[in-house]
Chains A and B, each alone.
Chain A
Amino acid sequence: ETGVTQTPRHLVMGMTNKKSLKCEQHLGHNAMYWYKQSAKKPLELMFVYNFKEQTENNSVPSRFSPECPNSSHLFLHLHTLQPEDSALYLCASSQAGQGNTEAFFGQGTRLTVV
């Protein structure tokens, strides 16, 4: 079982729909992240949560709304998206303060906005 689990793996939604992406980590980490990976572009960090508190929002449009109810779960709520929002959305987690700050990634949700 992978340490970071994302659901769904694939999602197709219309521009007027509302959907949510879910991420769950089983590693006991205290920080979680959302990244966007578009074709032929570098990984873009979207949000950072540290001990359930949002610590970074990298100028992400408000049609993306994160939620972190506890340190093991992270959601990304989507509404009125645009076709250019189609991408692979990756969740990651890491543990601060113990010298090992590598991030562990989920398999991603492939989102297509039609």
Chain B
Amino acid sequence: GDSVTQMEGPVTLSEEAFLTINCTYTATGYPSLFWYVQYPGEGLQLLLKATKADDKGSNKGFEATYRKETTSFHLEKGSVQVSDSAVYFCALSPHPSSARQLTFGSGTQLTVLP
């Protein structure tokens, strides 16, 4: 079955540091890939997505590139802020015509210190 593996946290960085959160996946076919973010006490929000190989998703300074050859979708940001402190979830979705649910990674807690 489909699966998503994220680097385990927690991750603690100083403000303006470079961020990488690794994500690899296992899936049949050509899934779409997503990063969701969950701020304290809130639900999940879609951060960015990529629907085919070599696509780059970007939003709020975050980027991730769909790498089919390495089955990866690593999240990066060049300069993190305190407000980026949250839990980040990598997820995949199978064939786009399906209403099947997303498969999530276990989440990575990020704390950014001033």
What residues make up the interface of A, taking CB atoms closer than 8 Å to B? 4, 6, 30-31, 33, 42-43, 45, 48, 50, 55-56, 90, 92, 94, 96-108, 110
Q: How far is the CB of B43 from chain A (nearest CB, A)?
A: 4
**Contacts across chains A and B counted by CB atoms under 8 Å:** 65
Interface residue stretch chosen among B13-21, B59-67, B71-79, B99-107: B99-107
- Which B residues are CB-close (under 8 A) to A107? 42-43
Contact A30 B99 (CB under 8 A): yes
Known interface pairs A102-B32, A102-B49. Does A90 touch B44 (Cβ–Cβ under 8 Å)?
Answer: yes
Q: List 12 A-B contacts (CB under 8 A).
A: A42-B104, A43-B104, A48-B100, A94-B99, A94-B102, A101-B94, A101-B100, A102-B32, A102-B46, A103-B101, A107-B42, A107-B43
- Which A residues are CB-close (under 8 A) to B26? none
Contact A99 B96 (CB under 8 A): yes
Contact of A108 among B43, B93, B105 (CB under 8 A): B43
Q: How far is the CB of B106 from chain A (nearest CB, A)?
A: 4
Contact A90 B99 (CB under 8 A): no
- Which A residues are CB-close (under 8 A) to B102? 94, 101-103
Known interface pairs A104-B46, A105-B44, A107-B43. Does A96 touch B97 (Cβ–Cβ under 8 Å)?
Answer: yes
Main secondary structure, interface of B, reads loop
Does any Cβ of A come within 8 Å of B25's Cβ? no
- Which B residues are CB-close (under 8 A) to A101? 32, 93-94, 96, 98-100, 102
Contact of B51 among A4, A30, A96, A99 (CB under 8 A): A99
